[in-house]
Amino acid sequence: MALALEEVWGRVKNVCKQNGLLILSVLAVVIGCLLGFFLRGKQLSEQSVLLISPFRCHSVMPPSPENDGFKQNIKTSTLI
């Protein structure tokens, strides 16, 4: 029984060595999809959204006197 477990563990390690990058890529996609699904219903601030997905922002205006530099005027794309 112990020999069979060692053999299985050796095969698992071999598969991970040969396909490690592929396994990590698939795990990253799955984790990203799960995070997106669960965070979609949350009411996140604009700053949180930008930290999570910085590539949604098309243009960020520099701080102006109206917003005292604490908020930025942000134009984001919308999906139809």
H or E element at residue 74:
strand 74-76
Average pLDDT over residues 61-80: 53
pLDDT on residue 66: 59
User: In sequence order, what are the beta bridge partners of 59?
Assistant: 75
SS (H, E, C) 3-45: HHHHHHHHHHHHHHHHHHHHHHHHHHHHHHHHHHHHHCCCCCC
Q: Is this prediction's pTM over 0.75?
A: no
Task: Give the whole-angstrom CA distance, residue 17 versus residue 21.
Answer: 9
Quick: pLDDT tens for 4-52. 889 999 999 999 999 999 999 999 999 989 988 888 888 888 888 777 7
Q: Residue 29: what pLDDT?
A: 95
Give the pLDDT score at 51: 78
